[in-house]
Amino acid sequence: ATLYGEILYMAGQLGLDPPTMKLCLGGATAQLDLALRNSEAVANAFKSSIFSSAIHFLVYCSAHLTSTEKEAVEQKLQNSYIAHLDSARSGSYPTILYVLAPDLPKGACVEIKPTLYVPTDGYNDNDDDGDITREPEAGGSKPSSSKVPSEWSAQYSGLHDSCCLANTVAGKICSAVVSVTNDIASKICPSTEHLHPSKEHLKAIARFCAFQLAKTLTDNSFTWDDVTMLRFYYSVERAVAADVVSRAFSEAFAELGAADGSLRIDGAPVFNLIPVSGSGRSASMDDVVTCELLASKA
């Protein structure tokens, strides 16, 4: 794990039995359960906890899993982790992103990568009720200069709540996942072409993603200069060349940059484009495109 400022970036955690460093028996759900325990052990070494300090969870699932097994992984995460957050933390839930991977280390079924907030003023062990606490959310000292073009708002704002999840911590950190499902894509591109996007439809999807990210930053008082990580996951099943996807996002950000003076790098923020077998906010991982953002005012 690497602690950078107040953000702890944890390496991928597998369901390994520490004494033997072998994968545990019991399949995907057993491996997820042990991976969560291993993650908690790492967090404890930094006087933190995945149950009180998680900002974002990246969950890799092996492409060898069946649909039933993937659903079981999502349910296990709900029962063993998310269900325990209400009594162990205050504030919003961490954002969660599922990614379908062809192969995982050691032939694992599941791998998780938690990102945690570890405040520099130390760890608050317990409040009066015995629950782990975190700093309350508050606005940051730096005002947001991001702007959302009004014509984009009229076209896309109605879909924001259905496709975007954001988590802000102490007014300092914001994580967000924007999920463009087939249903969302059909509303952006009202034809069957969203299933096999043309360049124009892909540009419309990229434009939609740029708007949702800008709105998330603006709504939470962050700027583009606060963004420390921006990734776009797209399905290789759709047979779209990487350079075409990259160009679509660059052009969308350039268009946004004309209305938002805080955009940098010649009108586009730095982003990584990641081809995957599947991705999404649920274990079905059937998004057309999924956006993953982390911003920090530290």
In a domain, 129, yes or no: no
**In a shared domain, residues 49 and 97:** yes
**In a shared domain, residues 94 and 164:** no
**In a shared domain, residues 204 and 286:** yes
Note if the pTM is more than 0.75.
yes
- For 30, the token pair is 């057993």
In a domain, 130, yes or no: no
Q: Supply the CATH number for residue 177's domain.
A: 3.30.1330.40
**In a shared domain, residues 166 and 210:** yes
Confidence of residue 145 (pLDDT cuts 50, 70, 90): very low
Give the span between the Cα atoms of 251 and 254, in whole angstroms. 5
Give the span between the Cα atoms of 119 and 126, in whole angstroms. 15
Residue 95 has pLDDT above 90, yes or no: yes
From residue 199, alpha-carbon distances to 202, 206, 276, 289, 296 in Å are 5, 10, 19, 14, 33
Total domains in the chain come to 2
Residue 127's pLDDT is 36
Confidence of residue 160 (pLDDT cuts 50, 70, 90): low
Show which of 100, 117, 134 is a domain's final residue: 117
Show which of 97, 117, 137 is a domain's final residue: 117
- Other beta carbons within 10 angstroms of residue 37's beta carbon come to 14
**In a shared domain, residues 172 and 237:** yes
**In a shared domain, residues 59 and 161:** no
What's the angle, vertex CA 105, arms to CA 279 and CA 181, rounded to 5?
5
Give the span between the Cα atoms of 36 and 48, in whole angstroms. 14
Give the span between the Cα atoms of 9 and 55, in whole angstroms. 10
pLDDT averaged over every residue in the chain: 82
**In a shared domain, residues 85 and 193:** no
In a domain, 92, yes or no: yes
**In a shared domain, residues 106 and 163:** no
Tracing tokens 């791998």 back to the chain, one arrives at: 111
- Give residue-wise pLDDT tens across range 97-117: 999 999 999 999 999 999 999
In a domain, 62, yes or no: yes
- Give residue-wise pLDDT tens across range 179-190: 999 888 888 876
In a domain, 260, yes or no: yes
**In a shared domain, residues 60 and 7:** yes
> Does residue 34 or residue 124 have the better pLDDT?
34
Alpha helices in the chain (DSSP H): 27-45, 50-53, 67-80, 150-156, 160-163, 182-188, 199-219, 242-257
**In a shared domain, residues 154 and 290:** yes
* SS3 at position 34: helix
**In a shared domain, residues 174 and 283:** yes
Confidence of residue 144 (pLDDT cuts 50, 70, 90): very low
Task: Return left, alpha or beta for 177; rule: phi > 0 is left, psi -120 to 50 is alpha, else beta.
Answer: beta
Residue 152's pLDDT is 59
Its domain, for residue 192, covers 150-296
- Give residue-wise pLDDT tens across range 249-264: 998 888 887 765 555 5
In a domain, 25, yes or no: yes
DSSP characters for 256-280? HHTT-TT--TTTS---EEEEESEEE
**In a shared domain, residues 90 and 166:** no
In a domain, 38, yes or no: yes
In a domain, 140, yes or no: no
